[in-house]
Amino acid sequence: MGALAADTGTGSIYTCVDANGRRITSDRPISACLDREQRELGATGTVRRIIGPSLTEHERALQAAQQRKLEEEQNRIAEERRRERVLISRYPDRAAHDTERAAALESVDAVTATAVKRIEELKDRRKAIDAEMEFYQKDPAKAPMKLRRQLASNEADIEEQQRFIAGQDQEKRRIHKRFDAELAQLKQLWAARAPVPAVLPGGAAAAAR
């Protein structure tokens, strides 16, 4: 009411129809019509403005929540458009995208090859350990603790490298999944960017000529 009451004394007439269907007029905003529309009329009876209903605290909260949701959606769309611009700038065509996919996979393969080579080295070392363990074949418990530790360490190192290689296989699947998703989106962006063929008289496309 405080903000509305500030209009008092401007020569305005306020009119509305209250909840009981009565038309009310006043020289100030009408408290009985805070929940509905009321009109502010000038001295000649022309409508200066239409004052919307005042909102309850719950209604204001709902309105604010709807506004936040709208802003969040607008921000989401703007961010999505920004990502699309970055994506198509990075990959202007299919060849550029395929090249980067191949490079990403090649990097993983290089790391995997290093792990495979390490396993081969560990297996060679295992042959030497096994040769020493042959002396204790009947009772491995009599083997020196140092030799047993070497054997356990060798086995653990091989298992670690095998887990690492399995992880690289998962990384390659992740890379393919990422590039497949990008490619599906890029196909739409490339198609939208493609120029529309001009149509010549007679209905034939200019590109066909």
Beta bridge partners, 40, equal 14, 49
**pLDDT tens for each residue of 49-61:** 998 888 777 887 8
Report the sign of the C-alpha dihedral through residues 163, 166, 168, 171, in that order: negative
Residues 97 and 185 in one domain: yes
| Cα(18)–Cα(151) distance, integer angstroms | 93
DSSP letter, residue 154: H
Residues 61 and 44 in one domain: no
**pLDDT tens for each residue of 103-145:** 999 999 999 999 999 999 999 999 999 999 998 888 888 899 9
What global pTM score does this model have? 0.59
Residues 44 and 70 in one domain: no
Residues 129 and 156 in one domain: yes
Report the sign of the C-alpha dihedral through residues 69, 72, 76, 77, in that order: positive
Residues 33 and 61 in one domain: no
| Cα(29)–Cα(5) distance, integer angstroms | 6
Q: What is the pLDDT of residue 88?
A: 95
- Joined together, the tokens standing for residue 181 give 């998703």
**pLDDT tens for each residue of 64-89:** 899 999 999 999 999 999 999 999 99
- The answer as to whether 203 is a domain residue is no
Residues 60 and 30 in one domain: no
Within 13 Å and on the Cβ side, how many CA atoms surround 62? 5
Residues 70 and 117 in one domain: no
- Joined together, the tokens standing for residue 95 give 């060849």
- The answer as to whether 202 is a domain residue is no
- The answer as to whether 194 is a domain residue is no
- The answer as to whether 99 is a domain residue is yes
Residue 9 pLDDT greater than 70, yes or no: no
- The answer as to whether 117 is a domain residue is yes
- The answer as to whether 64 is a domain residue is yes
**pLDDT tens for each residue of 39-50:** 999 988 899 999
Do 105 and 175 meet the contact criterion of CB atoms below 8 Å apart?
Answer: yes
- The answer as to whether 154 is a domain residue is yes
Domain that includes residue 110, residue range: 93-189
Residues 101 and 177 in one domain: yes
Residues 40 and 120 in one domain: no
- The answer as to whether 112 is a domain residue is yes
Residues 85 and 109 in one domain: no
Q: Where are the alpha helices (DSSP H) in the chain?
A: 2-5, 57-90, 94-133, 145-193
Number of domains in the chain: 3
Q: What is the pLDDT of residue 60?
A: 77
Residues 136 and 99 in one domain: yes
Residues 114 and 82 in one domain: no
